[in-house]
Amino acid sequence: MCMDIMKEAMFWDKLEDEQIRCELCAHHCNIKEGKRGLCNVREYRERKLYSLVYGKAASLVSDPIEKKPLYHFFPGTYALSFGTMGCNFSCEFCQNASLSCGSPTSAHLREYSVKDIVREALKYDGIAWTYNEPTVSYEFSYDVFREYKKKGDGYTAYVTNGYMESEPLKKLAPYLDAMNIDIKAFTDKFYREVVGGKLQPVLDTATRSVELDIHVEVTYLIIPGHNDEPKELSEFSSWVKENLGEDTAVHFSRFHPDHRMRHVPPTPTEKMEEAQDIAVEHGLNYVYLGNLPADNNTYCPGCGTTILSRSYFSSGKPKIKDGKCKKCGRKIPIIY
Ligand code: SF4
């Protein structure tokens, strides 16, 4: 079993009635002495809130950046990928429940210092906080990213549900280069009933992150019969175009039965293609399909030239010069 090491948490306030309120994410949990917040990895003990997953990794491996997925951000590179236990959502369809529902004292966790992780990350092109929700291990990511940025020019990334509050996001932004944000549906009802949260804070995080100059891509997992109505997909696509921009990379991901949604069938390929068509019709220029074989090359929206060929999780270098298509000169928003 992993030792019970605790680090004082950031972003919390004392309340008058012997409780504290955590301000890290939009749940704003009120927590009593000896209890934990909804994420199960932040605990109130002796008048302080502690992170129970500081320095604890459930998974530490290198991944292609395309696997996050981030398609317009240093294509063809590898990121050291850190994941631990805990999540501030309780998605019925969770595709990674062993980590999101895992215990902060699990025997599967291994302990690392900030220096350990930075030393390992320097062997790759960047570092990503992923697999479980990164917000709930905010303190460790903040310390690692800050130290990592002092040591070299590698990139940092979060693969997140977007439920972080604005102040923590603002504090992390100078050290965070990219985010893939899950938008799990485009109705508050789905967020309330299936996810255990609200839609608006997620949308706010996405727009704030763009304003803070963080590279943002968006993932939408299409679950048959739950969040795949053309009207909902149209509203989602319009919102992305108006608020994040028409050149935002959007990833529609195919659902496979998991966790408490094993009775729901995998998303039909036709439904995935329909979602892609809807997003393109609404003016989005880069719409990709994940978790199924598909043409996921990047094409210039101006002249149709293949900018970047992708195969599974690998890709080459984009055919652009000074950020523009070599053939027609259109701006291509791929960072590399
Ligand atoms: S980070 Fe955890 S404890 Fe803090 S508000 Fe969110 S769910 Fe609650």
Which atom of ligand 1 is the closest one to the Cα of 25?
6
Which atom of ligand 1 is the closest one to the Cα of 31?
3
Mention every residue, 6+ apart, whose C-beta is less than 8 A from residue 134: 141, 158, 159, 160
pLDDT tens per residue across span 117-155? 999 999 999 999 999 999 999 999 999 999 999 998 999
- Please tell me whether residues 148 and 64 are part of one structural domain: yes
Is the four-CA dihedral 222, 225, 226, 230 of positive or negative sign? Answer: positive
Q: What does the alpha-carbon distance between residue 84 and residue 76 come to, in Å, rounded to a whole number? A: 25
Best substitution site from 136, 166, 167 to test ligand 1's pocket, by max atoms within 8 Å of Cβ? Answer: 136
pLDDT tops 80 at residue 242:
yes
Q: How many CB atoms lie within 10 A of CB 41?
A: 26
pLDDT tops 50 at residue 201:
yes
User: Is 132 a domain residue?
Assistant: yes
Q: What is the pLDDT of residue 4?
A: 58
- Please tell me whether residues 136 and 47 are part of one structural domain: no
Q: What does the alpha-carbon distance between residue 68 and residue 75 come to, in Å, rounded to a whole number? A: 11
Percent of the chain surpassing pLDDT 90: 88
pLDDT tens per residue across span 119-128? 999 999 999 9
DSSP string for 273-326: HHHHHHHHHTT-SEEEEESS-----EE-TTT--EEE-EETTEE----EETTEET
Which atom of ligand 1 is the closest one to the Cα of 138?
1
- Please tell me whether residues 183 and 271 are part of one structural domain: yes
- Nearest Cα to Cα of residue 83 among 26, 41, 24, 124: 41
3-state secondary structure of 32: strand
Q: Give me ligand 1 centre to Cα 39, in Å.
A: 6
Q: Give me ligand 1 centre to Cα 148, in Å.
A: 26
Q: Give me ligand 1 centre to Cα 31, in Å.
A: 9
- Please tell me whether residues 96 and 200 are part of one structural domain: yes
Which atom of ligand 1 is the closest one to the Cα of 23?
5
Best substitution site from 8, 12, 19, 27 to test ligand 1's pocket, by max atoms within 8 Å of Cβ? Answer: 27
Nearest-CA residue for ligand 1 atom 3 is 37
- Please tell me whether residues 173 and 240 are part of one structural domain: yes
**Both structure tokens of 333:** 């928003």
Average pLDDT, the chain: 95
What is the number of alpha carbons within 13 Å of residue 252 lying toward its C-beta?
A: 32
Mention every residue, 6+ apart, whose C-beta is less than 8 A from residue 36: 42, 43, 44, 52
Q: What does the alpha-carbon distance between residue 244 and residue 319 come to, in Å, rounded to a whole number? A: 24
pLDDT tops 60 at residue 68:
yes
Q: What pTM does this model have?
A: 0.96
Structurally, the chain folds into a number of domains equal to: 2
**Both structure tokens of 307:** 């900018």
Best substitution site from 7, 21, 25 to test ligand 1's pocket, by max atoms within 8 Å of Cβ? Answer: 25
- Please tell me whether residues 170 and 47 are part of one structural domain: no
User: Is 327 a domain residue?
Assistant: no
Could you say which DSSP state residue 109 is in? -
- Please tell me whether residues 148 and 177 are part of one structural domain: yes
- Please tell me whether residues 65 and 85 are part of one structural domain: yes
pLDDT tops 50 at residue 244:
yes
pLDDT tens per residue across span 271-295? 999 999 999 999 999 999 999 988 9
Query: How far does Cα 144 stand from its chain's mean position?
Result: 17
User: Is 323 a domain residue?
Assistant: no
Q: Give me ligand 1 centre to Cα 77, in Å.
A: 32
| Domain CATH code at residue 135 | 3.20.20.70
User: Is 303 a domain residue?
Assistant: no
User: Is 98 a domain residue?
Assistant: yes
- Amino acid 275 reads A
- Please tell me whether residues 40 and 137 are part of one structural domain: no
Q: Which domain holds residue 195?
A: 56-296
Pocket of ligand 1 (CB under 6 A): 22, 24-25, 27-29, 37-39, 42, 88, 136
- Please tell me whether residues 240 and 258 are part of one structural domain: yes
pLDDT tens per residue across span 298-329? 999 999 999 999 987 777 889 999 999 999 99
Say which residue the tokens 């972003």 belong to.
11
Q: What is the pLDDT of residue 258?
A: 87
- Please tell me whether residues 114 and 248 are part of one structural domain: yes
pLDDT tops 60 at residue 169:
yes
Q: Give me ligand 1 centre to Cα 10, in Å.
A: 11
Nearest-CA residue for ligand 1 atom 6 is 25
pLDDT tops 50 at residue 209:
yes
- Please tell me whether residues 42 and 70 are part of one structural domain: no
**Both structure tokens of 92:** 């019925």
Q: Give me ligand 1 centre to Cα 198, in Å.
A: 14
Q: What does the alpha-carbon distance between residue 189 and residue 155 come to, in Å, rounded to a whole number? A: 36
Q: What is the pLDDT of residue 316?
A: 80
Q: What is the pLDDT of residue 1?
A: 46
Nearest-CA residue for ligand 1 atom 2 is 39
> Per mean pLDDT, which range of 1-5, 61-65, 131-135 is the poorest?
1-5
